[in-house]
Amino acid sequence: MKVVSTAKSHGGVQGVYSHASETTACDMTFAVFVPPQANEGPRPVLWYLSGLTCTHANVMEKGEYRRLASELGLIVICPDTSPRGETVPDEKDNWQFGCGAGFYLDATQEPFKRNYHMYSYLTEELPALIAREFPADMSRQGIFGHSMGGHGALTIALKNPDRFRSCTAFAPIVEPMTAGWSRPALEKYLGPDEAAWRAYDASALIEDGRRFPEFLVDQGTADGFLQEGLRPWLLEEACQKAGIPLTLRMQEGYDHSYFFISSFMDDHLRWHAERLG
């Protein structure tokens, strides 16, 4: 692991790091905020997954999480959204696919299956590195994210309920199999058989029997992607049928930006802190 940068913030340390990933076959960059309480012992871990076109830097610079994370004693980890590099296949003119749009899945199709293994990277390789290098209590983990990252948080939590104690999302893509901006990506990464897509679709996972104790979702009513790409009512229907408690808050007048995310970041941090102990 290489240290890219560190800065003191709210008594803790905001760092950016990189390492050579075997899972994605390229160098990966990620950010970690360590609160001051880590000087006294391991702290709970909260993973934040970003949306399309983003890197680790978007929430680090605009998410406004450090003040309260420091107060609550939470380690906040912000991974990248996809593999990157000259050898990584990409569609540079398509912001909904390729670099910046890994969709938190393990690709099975050429030429993407060599690098695009973000699910395994985030559930196996990066957690192992965090456990080795940081004062992290890996028995207390939560996960949240925005948009494509909200999709990632929901699906990863549903498939790993024994690992994560809490899961929330900002404006998540709740049913990527049927959303116009995500269907093409799933087909390119996973092939034409839609049965394989269900492993990376929150609504389908719940329909197929996956469970999680409860979710919190915030969604802006002025979000331009609400009707075509996000559609939180589909998650609400799936959770109601499965008996999963869902707190869905439609936030009047808010859009899809980090102005929206930062407005409700404190609520999400407190939600996780209560469940992480």
What kind and span of H or E run contains 207? helix 202-207
| DSSP per residue, 15-40 | EEEEEEETTTTEEEEEEEEE-GGGGG
Which is the catalytic residue, given 147, 166, 182, 203?
147
Query: SS3 string of 36-66?
Result: HHHHHCCEEEEEEECCCCCCCHHHHHHCCCH
Q: Give SS3 for 140.
A: strand
Is 256 assigned a catalytic role?
yes
Question: Active site residue: 151, 256, 268, 272, which one?
Answer: 256
| 80/145 Cα distance (integer angstroms) | 12
147 among known catalytic residues = yes
Q: Find tokens 């207390």 and name the residue.
A: 140
What is the distance between the alpha carbons of residues 54 and 58, in angstroms, rounded to a whole number? 6
From the candidates 151, 223, 268, 272, give the one annotated as an active-site residue. Answer: 223
Give Rg (Cα) of the chain.
17
Residue labelled with tokens 């590195």: 129
* CB neighbourhood size of 52 (10 A): 24
Catalytic-residue membership of 9: no
Give the active site residues: 147, 223, 256
